[in-house]
Structure 1
């Protein structure tokens, strides 16, 4: 989609594109076949995003999945140590019958005790389970906080949709927005204006727009 307005920087319109169109053009879903940890082929679909599309995003990315992955790992550790402890340590063995069994003849044969190390598995399992629960709580709270921060997203996208990106200059200008001139804006300055309109402008200083042509932050 070619823009219908001249770029205020170069004065031409042949490489001007509406910001929403430039943003969507840089996002694509790619499906391919790859092998998993067991060596089996599986179909995987991923979203491939260009640097320009990232720089023109109207909202910041949601919190990462790092803590959630650690929580899943901790849950597996808790389950694994619990199963090993039950099988090797006889944690739930019913000794109501009076302990070790006696054979019909000969001296009593005491039941073999579990190695002392298996008692530690119970503590490891409990600690890992606690870590998994804490990771889940932190992940849910972060996502809820992120959703609350984006309550003004509609206002941000209203301004965002009035932007035009010049592929020749690498700048954005606003057109037909009351109180805003048509001066060229860097990707970072455009992000600040849009995110400020949505009420989460302070995040623009943390998630800085990267100029895809220069591979660095823009100011």
Structure 2
């Protein structure tokens, strides 16, 4: 990583110029605080905080959201709960009671009341299990697709590491790369150049850089 300061081609000064990787890492921090949980008890919570500038200088796109995982978790809980209810309350695997020999007229007093039919719980459990499995398949597919799409990130990071950010001008320029234009770039244009090098430049139009 290049750490030697270079003058900004925009303002011609170097006192506010900093390497892009340093700006990116410096804008990320872990913040710890105290808050109440759902039971009203105090707990310590640590959250990752990223500044807008750090996010704008990211060398790779954001990973796809995995909010659908909550649905999968809920479906899994429903599947387990209804299955246990079907087994232990509905007697899913109990043997049918044997009837004593002899003719019957009306209801035999020897037979116990079988209770309500809870076989529908088995169907609910199976359906919830299918939903959970489908959610897992979607999450795996998204993660695999993202990893495949960003497999050229090492090329993007190599170019990204030669970027310099001027805090005075709010622009980025490249230095130390033969043949590379050293003109100042906006954050969005810098993102496009870096992401294009990694093979995912089209994503910059959907995830715009806002410093």
Q: What TM-score, normalized to structure 2?
A: 0.85
CA–CA distance in structure 2, aligned partners of residues 145 and 119 of structure 1: 40
Q: Label 1:92 to 1:38 Cα distance change in 2 as closer, same or farther (>3 A).
A: farther
What is the deviation of 1:99?
6.1
- What does residue 207 of structure 1 align with? 207
- What does residue 48 of structure 2 align with? 47
Matches for 1:58-137 after TM superposition, within 5 Å? 58-95=59-96, 97-98=97-98, 107-115=109-117, 118-137=118-137
For structure 1, the residue ranges without an aligned partner over 5 or more in a row are 101-105, 213-219
Q: Label 1:8 to 1:60 Cα distance change in 2 as closer, same or farther (>3 A).
A: same
Aligned residues: 202
1:172 aligned counterpart, secondary structure: strand
Q: What TM-score, normalized to structure 1?
A: 0.82
- What does residue 141 of structure 1 align with? 141
What is the deviation of 1:36?
3.8
- What does residue 29 of structure 2 align with? 28
Q: Label 1:160 to 1:112 Cα distance change in 2 as closer, same or farther (>3 A).
A: same
RMSD of Structure 2 on Structure 1 (CA) = 2.3
What is the deviation of 1:130?
0.6
What is the CA deviation profile of residues 67-102 of structure 1, one whole-angstrom value per residue up to 9, with x for unaligned ones?
A: 22221111111112222233332222222x4169xx
